[in-house]
Amino acid sequence: MREVALVGAGMTRFAKHLDRSMKDLARESIDNALRSANINASALEAAAVGNAMAGLITGQECIRGQVVLREMGIGGIPVINTENACASAATAFHIAWLYVASGMYDVVLAVGMEKLFHQDKSKSFEALGSAIDVELMQQTLEQMKTATNDGGEDAGAGKSRSMFMDFYADFARAHMREYGTTKEHFAKIAAKNHTNGSLNPHAQFQTPRTMEDILASPMIADPLTRMMCSPIGDGAAAVILTSAERAKQYTAKPVYVRASVLGSGKDRKPGEPEVTERVARKAYEMAGLGPQDIHVAEVHDASAPAELIIYEELGFCKHGEGGRLIDEGATLLGGRLPVNPSGGLLAKGHPVGATGVAQIAEIFWQLRGEAGKRQVQGAKVGLTENGGGMLRGEAAAVAVHILTV
């Protein structure tokens, strides 16, 4: 396999873009990536395009990537459409990496795009709720019922909020029972990410928040308050991959892909590692690195408790010690391992089909020293972790990438 480099990245601001089409959002991100790479669109030899929800939100199925790329004059090349829940864009990146690493193509585009906002918000939440086993949906909803503040049963899952917040609330309560983790730990993560987002011009939310702000926001599914939950959003992100040999033709600061691993959940024996831990181990092995070597990370904080649990699954600390990592300030900007300097899904936003490539774009900028006020000083090794869907209690798909300069 050949060594692969990133030479350009671009993205839109993640936001509520009711007046913009997915074509328009994708065009902005791709144009920015091409400009960043000093590459003309005619140099692209293939493209992988990630999207999760267009079929359910807009009705566009089957040829989403071709529809978007032809609008901006890109045609005649292989276009792969990837749909893999919230890991759709990370999956597109993995395919693009394989194209270059295999030697089949030298210059490949990876794009993630999504429009989740709809005039009928329940349609957005129902679309998100399709990323589970739909034949078992009603049974799952019954199992996930949680008590509201007044003690009544909350029927909002999948209707007035994403049912995934109920999954995350359940995981959070289990972690609290087993390890003594507190709501304050989750609030500290959310405050960190919202404060980081205030430094990111691409972020959906750009207001710094305190732990007290997070705890005072409305309860969604105990112990999750609204600010501990990622929002829905619209947006797109794109990166340009080339062979390492070609990279210096386009930039003096290539970023190298040391590992690209995609995996899925499975039926596990008691005590067997779950999917994120298994995929991360493969990525570390591929890169010849370990968790102690990571300088900066972007992880799938669809909720604040998810980020804490991912610390443990990625080996940043032992199982049960995520709260200690937070209390030490290790994952803050300026800490020994900043996590989600972009603001993460909590503040940067979560247009699900765009998130994986947006994470990679952030690490690309961090490793090149181009992240502005949120720059992690001296970052040379970065990691992204992107999960998608839920099946039998764990993520249906997980991608981990390790990048270096």
Q: Is the pLDDT at 383 greater than 80, yes or no?
A: yes
- Which of 325, 400, 390 has its CA nearest to residue 359? 400
Residues assigned a catalytic role: 86, 350
Say how far apart CA 365 and CA 401 lie, in whole Å.
Answer: 15
pLDDT given for residue 147 in this prediction: 41
pTM: 0.94
155 has pLDDT over 60: no
pLDDT tens digits along 200-224: 999 999 999 999 999 999 999 999 9
Helical H segments across 129-199, by residue range: 137-144, 164-179, 183-197
pLDDT in the model for residue 145: 59
What's the CA gap between 326 and 37, in Å, rounded?
A: 36
Contacts 24+ apart (CB under 8 A), 207-214: 211/184, 211/187, 212/187, 214/186, 214/187, 214/190, 214/304
Ordered structural domains, the chain, with CATH: 4-118+234-257 (3.40.47.10), 132-231+259-404 (3.40.47.10)
Count of beta carbons in the 10 Å neighbourhood of residue 258: 20
Over residues 309-368, the pLDDT tens digits come to 999 999 999 999 999 999 999 999 999 999 999 999 999 999 999 999 999 999 999 999
Average pLDDT, the chain: 93
Structure tokens at 66: 């071709």
Cα torsion 367, 188, 230, 282: sign: positive
**Strand 107-115 to strand 46-50: parallel, antiparallel, or no bridges (unpaired)?**
parallel
pLDDT for res 126: 82
